[in-house]
Amino acid sequence: MVAALYPGTFDPVTNGHLDIIERACRVFDRVYVTLFPHPEKSFLFTVEERLEMLRQVTAPFPNVEADSYSGLVVDYARERGIRVLIRGLRAVSDFEAEFQMAQMNMHLNPGLETFFMMTRPENAYLSSSIVKTVARFGGSLAGLVPPVVEKRLRERFRS
């Protein structure tokens, strides 16, 4: 059995994330979609809220486990015997930072391989940051996020 880890902040989870998750489910026996901290980001949703949304939107995928972890990706992978890390690439501009991160992860955990998945063209412009900006100003979220996430965004920005 080959398990893979798809780490992120998922603040919030987008249709681009879901596309990567769905495709990863066809390649790997088990996919851990896991929230990790990012010290340079401030979050719109709490860990608990993001985890709840992740669990709701990944419910149709029987081989996905949504989780959270407060340490390093490499340590989470090591503790669970995961040997594959999934990273999505939207554009060439993502590659430099992702390459650097993959090299550091390999240094910290030589048994962990990074598997890059190219986003579909229709999701190439999509990011959680852009989605939050659109939601903040009342723009259409159609096609950007799952309905449950759209509802949570609308509620958050109404208050």
**Distant-in-sequence, close-in-space partners of 141: CB < 8 Å, separation ≥ 6:** 131, 134, 135, 150, 153, 154
Q: Which two tokens stand for residue 27?
A: 């390649």
Residue with tokens 């650097």: 100
Alpha helices in the chain (DSSP H): 15-27, 47-58, 73-80, 92-108, 128-136, 147-158
d(CA 63, CA 153): 27
d(CA 69, CA 5): 12
Query: Active-site residues: which are they?
Result: 17, 41, 90, 128
Total residue length of the chain: 159
d(CA 97, CA 100): 5
Residue with tokens 């081989």: 63
